[in-house]
A and B are shown apart, each in its own frame.
Chain A
Amino acid sequence: MKKRLMVLLLALAMTFNLAACAGEPKKEEVAEVPASGEVIKETEAPSYKIGIITPTLSSSEDEFRAGDNMVKKYPGIVKHLTFPENVNAEMETALSQIVSLADDPDMKAIIIASGGSGYLPGLQKVKEKRPDIITITAPIWDDPELMAKYVDINLDTDWARRGVTIVEKAHDMGAKTFIHYSFPTHLAKEVISLRKDTMKETAEKLGMEFVEVVTPDPQTGDGTAPMLQFLREDVPRQIEKYGPDTNIFGSNCPMYDVILDEALKLKFLVAEQCCPTPTQAYPTVMGLEIAEEDSANFDKINAMISEKAKEAGMTGRLSGWPMPVTIFLPEYAVELAKYAIDNNSNLKEDVLNKEFLDKFAKDTFGVGVDFQSYQQKDNYYMMIMESIFY
């Protein structure tokens, strides 16, 4: 609790831009070191450490919680730092944080889970300084070629392939029409526009109608409200036109508050969210009351969603991934690093192959995950999780 308060205070301080850049990493360490220090005495943990850096709680909850969970699970081993609140403006601080982890002689692996770009130089520096440290990205979005060259293991969600899988899943669930909501600044991103094109192609192949709708842009000043207002108005129009056997996909997470809410009323299909997770939109829309001790218990949350879906007569019409990929990947990376260090394995031979990665996910997390190497790179793997149908 104390720590959380500390982090919150820090977040506030940063919002007000009062915290000096140089001061932040130090404060973090003050918050972290005693916590891990205490535990070391109790458990006599092995003499190596794994560092993980995530965004702050307020900028991205899932990654932060994942890091936090790992600290709790492996006290004394995992060391969790957070990037500055406004990373883009303080990239220098972020990079120095990455490099500072390598100062610890016990450090054996460094994991960055951020979903941003610009961190690669930090990892390069780590490698120059300490070639023995295993570096994992889970994920960062720098240039894939360079990432494959300088980082030991790169993990990411297979965004482009989801263009195929989501549409196929929707088709299997009975969709005759596939509606894709997005807006100009999103469509300008290569990944998203590529995925959209793939979706269109797949839909046509499967004989589905593909409808593309552009919403007001939340990134051009007015925030998400006009976009959501528009969805509130437009979704019923579209369903009236195309009928309930329609799958709706939106490229922006906040859209799902409205999409799922309307889905419960209008009974259309939602095969997968843009960032599939039971913890987003579902709890809000369904008014789930998740007890504090269940907050990381995804099985229970999924069960609650299934029940609400049943109440709404929506069984089998909503689907997603059983746990958020933004929690899965960072935790997976930590587990993988720990496994590799404990077994002293040779990364190239023992770890970096599809069979091992898939099996490791099933064994550790109990969820089926399909990894595929990205453009035949042997250390760059993209994953898709098995679906859960509510």
Chain B
Amino acid sequence: MDSILKVTGLTKKYEDNYALNKVDFELKRGEIHGLVGANGSGKSTFLNILFGNSIIRETGGYSGEIIIDKENTYIKDTSSAVELGIGMVHQEFALIGDLNIASNIKINRENLNKKTEKILGKDFARVDVKRNKEDSEKALSILGIDIDPSLKVFNLSTNIKQFVEIAREIDKVNLKILMLDEPTASLNEEDSKLLLSSLKRIKEQGSSIIFISHRLEEVVEICDRITIFRDGEVVSSYSKEAFDIPKIAMDMTGKKVVKTLRKEKDIKENILLSFKDVEVNYGQRNTKGISLDIYEGEILGITGLAGHGQDIFPYGLMDVYEMSGDVRFNGEKIVPGDIEDITKKGIYILPDERKEMGLLLDSPIWKNIVFSSCHLSTEFLKIPWFKSFSPLKSNAMYEHTDNMIEDLNIKCRDKYQLVRELSGGNQQKVCLARAITTKPKLLFVGEPTRGIDLYSKELILDMLLETNIQDKVTIVVSSGELGELKRICDRIVVMYEGKVFDILKPDDSDQAFSLAILGARRVDSEK
């Protein structure tokens, strides 16, 4: 079999970070090629480059060679990708609800009435609805779906919409490469099976498929080959005969020599915060029956793949997600969403989306550091008797800020510098400084090291440990960086599909973690 797509030395840099580093990849004609890798391993960047996504162009393009059908090409935008015969099905639907299925499938490639086309030209020719319908039926039947193409799309269920998306791609005459980004994420088991078998049929038609999924069983079942991405590099590639789920999982997470920073602590099982059978609505999802206990004094890690709900606990409490159920803090019942009460009780949150939710980017450093304390305590009030209308002690605030800048080694011009102008690592330090200033009992931190350089990563991890031990703050860290969690956490919770899937010890094997993250039971692997 010859190759339809050959990529050599593909590199993509976002500012200082390599999202892809010298990736070599080959897709053979008529094969289904699985791409697996943890979050941020570079899979989506890879697909974005191949599909000419505008993000790539706006951030400086890519380097490396892409050879499609033996022709060296540079993919500059989406329409050139489509011209080259690349089709992509996104995780989010790109369908127009008010149009019927046939119109959605044939959009921009409508069959036209020949006579009117001759007279009026392409743009104003009459659309041949009948032939559109026939084409759509044909495309849908390849997928094994029997549905009337004149139905409007907004009436369809999620799984059918997914099939319509795929049908639109396979209806393209010149389709050579079909890329599917987690197509089964929104499908139930039965429909997933249907989809997988239809992929096989598409393959028989002669198209090649790049398939991304977090469900390893699926990948192993339908792919001819699997390539594993990690940290922007291709770490391994297996053909059908060599498939081995535990091994693939290991490749994904990487076998890192983990130096434990954490000292053994004696954690008594004193419950500080407990979630019992709570229900959370986030995005389009709804999860019920979530329970978790957080012990006093521990550092608890929460990990899992993106979108599996690592952030539901802090966001549920702070009314970003809708949460309801029995939540107790120190045995006292609290109402999720009553943010004032919750913060007053000593729960503080540093969100993972630092720039969007964690900082006042256009305000100076000092305001970012003292903001929450001004709001929560009387520490910086000149005349506490005036309550909220008291003037603030500027000198005390400035002094505190200076101390924090020194203690945490925040690199900045002075305390008046705008936070926007700081680097990611220093911004995160400002966040931590703010959290420490409020002296919380329980601190939630989301992705503390995301987008931060190596040196600062270590500093921040140290800082978290120090806060935990010296200030006796219970910390809950949610992160996709398993290695880091293992270094600082006492226990690690693995989330899968919005629920607490398993709670592991940091010294459990990487394999156990990899499988848990992918939703496979430990018992299975031990068998």
Do A and B share a direct contact in the complex (Cβ within 8 angstroms)? Answer: no
